[in-house]
Amino acid sequence: MRNGRLRTTSLRLRTVVAILVLLTVLLTALVVAVEAVLGARLTAQVEDRLRDRASAAAALVGVLDASDLADRLSAQGLSVRIVEPDGAAVEAGPSPEQLRKGPPDPAGLPGPAARSSAAPSTTASSSSDGAAVTSSSVHEDDGVLTLRTDLADGTRITLTAGTRDVQETLTQLGWVMGGASAAFLGVAVVGVVLVVRRSLRPLDEMTAAARCITAGDRGRRLRPSRTDTEIGRVALALDEMLDAVEGAEAQAVAAEERVRSFLSDAAHELRTPVAGVRAAADTLVRNGPADPATNEVLAVHVVRQADRAARLVDDMLTMARLDRGIALDRRPTDLVDWLAAEVERLRIRLPGPDIRVEVPEHPVAADVDPDRLAQVLGNLVDNAARATGGAGTVRISLGAGRDEARLRVEDDGPGIPEADRERVFDRLVRLEDARDTRSGGAGLGLPIARGIVRAHGGSLVHGADGGLGGAVFDVRLPAGAAGAGRAASLMPYASVVEW
């Protein structure tokens, strides 16, 4: 989390509690549903029983005497009330209050039906068809179920059955299912804990691996067998993060080592001119004005050593700017015109070597910073001049390809061994043959040149052996639009002009 604190509640506890709560809710819903369905079913059976008895009683009305009919119905544990058409009422069986208390005891049932009024009893009809049912209604009230049936001849039969046994059955079922659910939850707790612990074991392995890595085992990795699962993706991400961290650590260590080496080499390079300046200055102070000739030589030496130290400091500042990202003043440039102007300056500054130039007749366009590119060319030519002892041949070739401009600088010096052709681009690296304090080189010219060329999006490498037999450096730059006054053309060479 970018902001706030990461919740670190136990994942095992949260998973187990969530599963158990879900199971509890499901089991409770199951018990409630079973009791509701079974209760409705048992109540419907009692109602069907009352309707069957009412239908049978309706068929016997007029066939049996009301008292006999009531006795037959009450013998089945029902509370019976028959109201005849003349208003006489006959009751038999347990009362509704007794039915609410529980199932009737057959030994305690009342005797024959008794009339509740003094009205004379009607004689049974000789009809065998009974009386038709005109209407019926069911009423349930606190442990009893009452069915009232009205017949066509005016007789009203009221049958009441107790539902206490239904409630007791549901209660017993609830206790049984509740106990079974509790036992099931107990087993589920043990099972879920074991399953969750086993399922989360890879997290313990990841934790152990992380602690081992923290303790110093940097090469340890999780290497998940599958990367399409949640834990596999986490393990893969952790491995990738560790690879990145290890790589960054290695780069940081290497960078620190390079900085230390650079500081050591820079101090060594600066120590020589500084020591020379100090020694010459001490001699000047001791001699005083007594020896003008010696003092002049010492003064010249001081100036040369100070100039050498200043160049070294300037080169180190340039390297620092390249590391931060140097700003380029890029603009479309015709490299043919640019090279002509730079070669004239180089010939004035370096009159000793024979500098030859080969360029195509057509323009060679590139989008570059002319001043920075001149610094690259100057470093390469300076190296070539030092390699040839200041009196050899240096050849500069300019060409154009389909998407790039090519600049080559070669000399007729001893060349660079193949094993050192990449090492010479490291900072403060000078080959043994070039370690001459009078040369003024500190091993920063080629690294600076490569850094400037790469800032342009190009490359600087030691090329294949040239025709002069010495060192060969190839500069490749992305092609660009030609400057004003020259046609933009990157055609193959029509001819080569040598200055």
pLDDT tens by residue, 404-415: 899 999 999 888
Answer yes or no: pTM beyond 0.85.
Answer: no
CA 169 to chain centre: 57
Q: Which of 327, 338, 415, 337 is nearest to 377 (CA)?
A: 338
Nearest to 471 by CA among 406, 421, 397: 421
DSSP assignment letter at 132: -
d(CA 75, CA 137): 22
DSSP assignment of 167-197: HHHHHHHHHHHHHHHHHHHHHHHHHHHHHHH
35 within 8 A of 56, measured Cβ to Cβ: no
How far apart (Å, rounded) are the C-alpha atoms in residues 83 and 12? Answer: 71
Identity of residue 26: L
Pairwise CA distance, residues 157 & 438, whole Å: 137
Burial level of 440, CB count in 10 A (0-12/13-18/19+)?
A: middle
Distances (CA, A) of 443 to 383, 414, 430: 10, 17, 5
For position 374, what pLDDT does the model report?
Answer: 92
| Per-residue pLDDT tens digits of the chain, which is 499 residues long | 455 566 767 777 888 888 889 999 999 999 899 988 988 888 888 888 888 888 888 888 777 777 887 787 777 778 888 888 887 888 887 777 777 666 555 444 444 554 444 333 333 333 345 667 777 788 777 778 888 888 887 888 888 887 778 888 888 888 998 899 889 988 988 988 888 888 878 878 888 887 887 777 777 777 788 888 877 888 888 888 888 888 887 888 887 887 777 677 677 667 777 777 787 777 777 776 666 777 777 777 778 778 777 877 777 777 777 777 778 888 999 999 999 999 999 999 888 899 999 998 888 889 999 998 998 999 899 889 988 888 889 999 998 888 889 999 999 988 888 888 888 887 767 665 444 444 545 677 888 888 899 989 999 999 887 778 889 999 999 886 543 333 333 333 333 445 5
State how far the Cα of 346 lies from the Cα of 342, in Å rounded to an integer.
Answer: 6
Q: How does pLDDT run across 397-406, given as a tens digit for each residue?
A: 998 888 889 9
Q: Are strands 79-83 and 89-92 parallel, antiparallel or unpaired?
A: antiparallel
Q: Any idea how long the chain is?
A: 499
- What's the pLDDT score for residue 288? 65
**Residue 489: its pLDDT value, please?**
32
| The predicted structure's pLDDT at residue 445 | 81
Q: How far is CA 304 from the centre of its chain?
A: 60
Distances in Å between the alpha carbon of 185 and those of 6, 176, 188, 191?
32, 14, 5, 10
